[in-house]
Amino acid sequence: MARLITRRKLLIGLAASTALAGCDTRSAAKALLAGMGRWNERVDRLLFSENRLAPEPPVSELTPETAFPSYFISDSMPFAPDNWTLKVGGMVARPAVLTLDQIKRMPQTGMRIRHHCVEGWSAVAAWHGVQLRELARVVGASRDAQYVEFLSFDKGYYSTWDIESSLHPQTILAYGMNGRPLYPDHGAPIRLYSPVKLGYKCVKYLTEVNFLPTRTGGYWEDLGYDWYGGV
């Protein structure tokens, strides 16, 4: 918990200092942040344990649905196209294009998770879907893959995760919330969710999952947010 608070304070501080910096100092600050980011990634990955489960908040902490904030970068609610599919590729033996029904037929898992947004709010819901590690198994993801990239149809929103966090047993592709199907406000038809990452890493409106040898960026990460974004 102490670690979480420290990291969030740091993030908010960094976001504020880049926002305040003038034009000339901005690129220097960005370069510094990028350098710190690489170093942070090494430390974060060393500290992370793939098999340590995050505790589930009790039922009593569930946020009433009307009070669970919805956030997306688009000007209006993003709706999936009728022919929506999820493309899974990169370093995989069996690249796949999956329909929602195919994904729903995979083993289902679920848990309550507390969401932490760096804007300062947090909320709890129960989520269900398929473990990303199960999807990795289905497509035969290479053991050499170090990163996983998540793309969405929401105005080019994206993120990349380290492989350990991606294969964590509580990292899921969620198609349900609080016991019913996921609605467009929270990322329908499928969004990434996990108790091990901050809100901006949990990509909604997924279109593609790619197993990669090298790290790409992310929508907020490219603007200076911490790339690792761990809780």
Task: Give the binding site for ligand MTE (CB under 6 A).
Answer: 69-73, 117, 152, 154, 157, 186-187, 199-200, 202-205
Of residues 141 and 192, the one with the C-beta less far from ligand MTE = 192
Out of Mo ion, ligand MTE, none, what residue 95 binds, judged by CB under 5 to 8 A for its kind, is none
Q: What's 168's DSSP letter?
A: S
Task: State which amino acid sits at residue 128.
Answer: H
Q: Is 15 in the site for Mo ion (CB under 5 A)?
A: no
What DSSP line would sit under 66-77, residue for residue?
GGS----SSSS-
Of residues 32 and 79, the one with the C-beta less far from ligand MTE = 79
Of residues 211 and 225, the one with the C-beta less far from Mo ion = 225
Q: Are 77 and 89 in contact (CB under 8 A)?
A: no
What lies within 8 Å, CB to CB, of 195 at 6+ separation is 54, 56, 111, 113, 114, 170, 231
Q: Is 187 in the site for Mo ion (CB under 5 A)?
A: no
CA 186 – CA 77 distance, rounded (Å): 10
User: Tokens representing 132?
Assistant: 């990303």
Of residues 40 and 74, the one with the C-beta less far from ligand MTE = 74
Q: Is 200 in the site for Mo ion (CB under 5 A)?
A: yes
Out of ligand MTE, Mo ion, none, what residue 203 binds, judged by CB under 5 to 8 A for its kind, is ligand MTE
User: Tokens representing 3?
Assistant: 């670690």
Of residues 131 and 207, the one with the C-beta less far from ligand MTE = 207
| Cβ-proximal residue to Mo ion, closest one | 117
Q: What's 115's DSSP letter?
A: E
Site for Mo ion in 78-137 (CB under 5 A): 117
Distances (CA, A) of 129 to 37, 113, 114, 215, 224: 31, 13, 16, 25, 30
Distances (CA, A) of 159 to 67, 69, 156, 225, 231: 26, 20, 10, 11, 16
Candidates 78, 129, 199, 230; binder of Mo ion (CB under 5 A) is 199
Out of ligand MTE, Mo ion, none, what residue 162 binds, judged by CB under 5 to 8 A for its kind, is none
> Nearest distance from residue 77's CB to ligand MTE, in Å?
11
Of residues 200 and 227, the one with the C-beta less far from ligand MTE = 200
Which residue ranges make up the site for Mo ion (CB under 5 A)? 117, 199-200
